[in-house]
Amino acid sequence: MVFTATRGMRGVRITVAVASALVLALTGLSWWFVSHTVAGFTMSSALGLTYPHSGAGAMNILLIGLDSRKDQDGNNLPREILDKLHAGDSESGGNNTNTLILVHVSLDNHVVAFSIPRDDYVPVAGIPGYSHVKIKQAYGLKKADTEQKLAQAGVSDQHELETQGREAGRAATVAAVRGLTGAPIDYFAEISLAGFYDLTAALGGVDVCLNHPASDDYSGANFPAGGQALNAEQALAFVRQRHGLVNGDLDRTRRQQAFLISIMRKLHDGAFFTDLDRLNKLISVAHKDIVLSSGWSDEQFRRIGDIAGGNVQYRTLPVARYATVDGQDVNIVDPDAVKADVAAAFDDSATATTQSAPSSTVDVLYAGGAEGVAETIAHELSLRGYTSGQIRNPLTGEPRNTGVDYGPGSASDAQTLGGLIGIGSPPRLDSSQEPGHIRVVLGNDYTLPANFGQSPSVTGAGPGTDPAASDDGQSLAGDATPCVD
């Protein structure tokens, strides 16, 4: 399986919950056992009776990672589980969907997975007192409003309140994602934080590799550098750590993608299929921790099984800028740019495994004595298909801090470029720039990525190697354990 990951989105969080759902959804193992045990899942009708569908044999799947420390009935998780999660008490996290990934499977079984930054500020309907919310909040706010109204109507059964509240939250989340992306959603899968722990325990742990030692009291991470085998509690700390990492959430995203690759390797190990005890444990995890939308059947799982080992391209939705609204840090998005990116990526008429060539002109501005680096970057970008523009110092009034600014029509090119040259901050829309132009500013804090200039088709050489250390649109082969920060 090939992962194409793009850096530059502070709010992107491919978190542990959806990592679990993605593993179950995108491996041959899933249909092998789930197709025979669908009846054991909690099923949801939150998609509604009538809703837009993907056409021509394609399907879109929304993966929902719920940051809840409660079970399906609203009961608190046991203290010993919370302690292992290093995730606070049972009231922490609320019912935010801290991870949303929209997966598109084309007619010819190419897979594109869009991560949706959790702080994207989007319009909502049907939540009293709110016209816009962070997309992660739609679930919890709608759930709370629904439960309050049910309680006022005389409903007192905790299971009933929890069930109907969660159904309303799922429906609100689906509506928000549809509205933001403009894409139909055919199916969804939801998993809670505890599901990750259960999954990793059922698999007997996971192998990872770190470029540097890591320690963090918040997540419980305490690891040496190099390759190592982690148990479930350690694996949770590995993929949750954000503090103490140079690029924060971006480095955490890379860890979670490396975790997925390692899990894929373990699931595709033939010995796993002969261990019925471990298979039964995994089935139990799926039934306990995953909620599926109505419509999942043997056909969907068999098809997903057929594409296991194929190409998966990870992308993130573009963010125009950051802002503070009512005291909250939010991502301001350009709805047209988001919909255009999703539509282009989900366009099954294009060659499935090939990204479109960049069409933007790039100016490189060196603001901190980086003349040689500037020329190197401009040359490499020209080899990648970008049109070379000016190489110069910033003019009066132009930014001098490291970053990428783009004009109308260049959002996707700018996002890919930021990953290529290792700029972690998200590209910024600058409507004053000419359409099709990108401005790269190199400040005193900029350093060229160690692997800059490698071939864009590098593949994994084996455990303990990192052929794409910066999420630069290069390929990571799923038969290796990549080292990450």
Helix (H, G, I), strand (E, B) or coil at 113: strand
| E-only strand ranges, 214-358 | 214-216, 221-223, 226-230, 290-293, 311-316, 321-325, 328-332
Is 416:439 a contact under the CB 8 Å cutoff? no
Q: Where in the chain is the domain with CATH 3.40.630.190?
A: 2-345
Distance between first and last Cα of the chain: 21
Q: How confident is the model at residue 450 (pLDDT cuts 50, 70, 90)?
A: low
Query: 361-442 domain in CATH 3.30.70.2390?
Result: yes
The packing angle between helices 411-420 and 371-383, to 10°, is 120
Pick the CATH number of 2-345 from 3.30.300.20, 3.40.630.190, 3.40.50.1970, 1.20.950.20: 3.40.630.190
* Helix, strand, coil % over all residues of the chain, rounded to 5: 35, 20, 45
Of 53-57, 144-148, 453-457, highest mean pLDDT: 144-148
User: 463 pLDDT band (50/70/90 cuts)?
Assistant: very low
pLDDT digits (tens, 9 = 90+) for 48-92: 877 788 877 789 999 888 877 666 666 777 666 666 666 555 455
The pLDDT of residue 215: 87
In which residue are the tokens 């709110």 written? Answer: 130
- Spatial CA neighbour of 138 closest among 58, 210, 66, 230: 66
* Segment 298-312 mean pLDDT: 61
**Higher local confidence (pLDDT), 16 or 275:** 275
In this model, does residue 35 exceed pLDDT 90? Answer: no
What band does 161 get if pLDDT is binned at 50, 70 and 90?
Answer: very high
pLDDT tens by residue, 381-418: 887 788 999 998 888 888 888 889 988 888 878 878 88
Query: What are the angstrom distances between the C-alpha of 108 and each of 104, 303, 311, 347, 438?
Result: 11, 11, 11, 12, 33
Residue 120 is classified by DSSP as B
Using the predicted structure, report yes or no on whether residue 210 has a pLDDT greater than 80.
Answer: yes
Residue intervals of the chain classified under CATH 3.30.70.2390 are 361-442
Provide DSSP, 357-405: PP--EEEEEESSS-HHHHHHHHHHHHHTTPEEEEEEPPPTTS--SSEEE
The pLDDT assigned to 373 comes to 84
Interstrand relation of 226-230 and 387-392 (parallel, antiparallel or unpaired)? unpaired
